[in-house]
Amino acid sequence: MTVVFPPQRRSFSRICFIGDAFTVGAGDETGLGWVGRVVQAEWARNHDVTAYNLGIRADSTRAIRRRWRAECEARLPGGSNGRLVFMFGGNDAKEVVGSGVEVPLEESVDNARAILSEAVAWCPALWISLIPMSETKPYPRLLPGSPEYRFDNRRQAQYTQRYAEVAEELGVPFLDVHTALMQDLDWEQLTQAGDGSNPNAQGYAKLAGFILSWPAWRVWFEAS
């Protein structure tokens, strides 16, 4: 009997994906989200990837700043070729009806700077922006008695711009998908097909396509 061995993998890496509902893939009926899709694509490119999805629905930068390092350290032991990918900010920029913005812009920027400055001093890191949200479809109330939320894509764009400035300051590759998706005629429909904030499977596939074609992702990943 001939034994066929799988091809030698080109690289081995552990990647922590840190963020909120968009990172965890909320709203995707396939359960893959963009993280599952980009990891699947890298396996097809012969990369051995262990992915840890550390997205938590409704998390703002306040929560992420408190938790990310301990969660990642438990998954990225020394010598493991650890990598970090961040995507957050949508919960910061949302309006809590009757209370104002969840995390004011300057506080959000301070949190982002603290998170990413610590991250890049520890492991190679990438940063992905907020994504556009539906301004018309009500956001789902996840828990009984939870407040009502509203989104404003002009405000989302402000947070994205300030995050991009921090990324440049720190030398972190930053992908602005907000601007690209605001110009995409299909995006609003894909968001409406989801729950109004989190897109459906087609939306996550589109998002994964942007990430996989991002030159910084390819350079960063091929170096792993």
Q: How many domains does the chain have?
A: 1
Q: Among 69, 162, 148, which Cα is nearest to 108's?
A: 162
Residue 2 falls inside a structural domain? no
For the CA atoms of 182, 188, 190, 192, what is the dihedral angle to 10 degrees?
Answer: 140
Do you know the residue count of the chain?
A: 224
Q: Which two tokens stand for residue 181?
A: 């998706």
**Per-residue pLDDT tens digits for 16-50:** 999 999 999 998 999 999 999 999 999 999 989 99
Residue 3 has pLDDT above 60, yes or no: no
Apex 117 CA angle, 114 and 122, nearest 5: 125
Domain range for residue 134? 11-222
Q: How far apart are CA 162 and CA 167, in angstroms?
A: 9
Residue 4 falls inside a structural domain? no
CB 134 within 8 A of CB 149: no
Residue 163 has pLDDT above 50, yes or no: yes
Residue 181 falls inside a structural domain? yes
Residue 213 falls inside a structural domain? yes
**Per-residue pLDDT tens digits for 65-74:** 999 999 999 9
Give pLDDT, residue 52.
98
Q: Torsions phi, psi of 106, nearest 5?
A: -65, -35
Residue 54 has pLDDT above 60, yes or no: yes
Q: Is 185 buried (19+), middle (13-18) or exposed (0-12) by CB count in 10 A?
A: exposed
Residue 6 falls inside a structural domain? no
Which CATH number belongs to the domain containing residue 55 in this structure? 3.40.50.1110
Q: What is the mean pLDDT of the chain?
A: 89
Residue 164 falls inside a structural domain? yes
> Any residues with CB less than 8 A from the CB of 137 and at least 6 apart, and which?
191, 192, 195, 196
Q: 18: which strand partners?
A: 54, 86
**Per-residue pLDDT tens digits for 128-150:** 999 998 777 666 666 677 788 88
Residue 3 falls inside a structural domain? no
pTM for the full predicted model:
0.92
Give pLDDT, residue 147.
83
Residue 54 falls inside a structural domain? yes
**Per-residue pLDDT tens digits for 90-114:** 999 999 888 999 999 999 999 999 9
